[in-house]
Amino acid sequence: MSYARTIIQARDVAKELPMGAHVIHALRGINMDIYAGEMVGIVGPSGSGKSTLLGIIGGLDTPTHGSIAIDGVDITHMNEDQLTEIRNEKIGFIFQFFNLIPTLTALENVALPVQFARKSRHQPEKRAKELLGILGLGDRLHHRPSELSGGQQQRVAIARALANNPPLLLADEPTGNLDSESGATVMQALQDIRREGGTTVVIVTHDTTVARQTDRIMTLVDGKIADGIHINGR
């Protein structure tokens, strides 16, 4: 496969967090390029900086040094409003604990980001129904999160992440809270999305079954990329 464009470019990204009299070096000079259409796994021990890195890539957090560009746009010094716009347009997030709104149905949870997106061409409810159908939840539209299994809730969260058709999907331990069968369903859904939509997918995971399904794996140790980049199975 040849990759046309860089969708994530990190240059010397560092994150220092003040902790009382000390400073925690959560990231220490990350350099990486991720190309449109790739599925990349980020692995590494607890506390190695995986979630911090994903947050910076996704514009939820800012680096203390270095620069980060998403789809050719430097987001390093953007203000909160600009970052919000980038997140709405370009990025879908999936978290370990689903983060669905408990009082809203599956349909309402997925429709919400479409309503927020200013430039959306979609009708929120129509788009939400379509996505939930694709994810095998066409018969669960009016269920609330508490009325769904873990795997079903995570598929609702994936549908929500895809609501505005972002080019980039960031997932932090998407199967971390699921049994292996639900985890496999969720991974299948991510593979399908990536194949059909050309979506770039970055997955932070502890799960070797998940990591093995990505195109390449980056290992973080102590805030640094430990081993360069492995091409998975190739």
Ligand X SMILES: Nc1ncnc2c1ncn2[C@@H]1O[C@H](COP(=O)(O)OP(=O)(O)OP(=O)(O)O)[C@@H](O)[C@H]1O
**Which residues lie near Mg ion (CB under 5 A)?**
50-51
Centre a 10 Å sphere on the Cβ of residue 219 and count the other Cβ atoms it contains. 19
Interface residue with ligand X, options 7, 26, 91, 168 (CB under 6 A):
26
Three-class SS of residue 73? strand
The residue among 25 and 143 lying less far from ligand X, judged by its C-beta, is 25
Q: Is 36 an interacting residue with respect to ligand X (CB under 6 A)?
A: no
- Give min distance, CB of 81 to Mg ion, in A: 27
Under rule CB under 6 A, residue 21 binds ligand X: no
49 binds, among Mg ion, ligand X, none (CB under 5 to 8 A by kind): ligand X
CB closer to Mg ion out of 96 and 213: 96
d(CA 108, CA 29) in angstroms, rounded, equals: 40
CA distance readout (Å), 5 to 2, 72, 173:
9, 9, 26
**Site string (79-108) toward ligand X, x via CB under 6 A:** ------------------------------
Q: Is 51 in the site for ligand X (CB under 6 A)?
A: yes
Q: Does 49 help bind ligand X (rule: CB under 6 A)?
A: yes
Cβ(194)–Cβ(159) below 8 Å: no
| Identity at 33, one-letter amino acid code | D
Assign 71 to helix, strand or coil: coil
Instruction: Spell out the residues 6+ positions from residue 83 whose beta carbon is closer than 8 angstroms to its own.
Output: 59, 60, 75
In 3D, which of 195, 197, 234 has the Cα closest to residue 216? 234
Tell me, by CB under 6 A, how many residues bind ligand X: 12
Interacting residues with ligand X (CB under 6 A):
17, 19, 24, 26, 44, 46-52
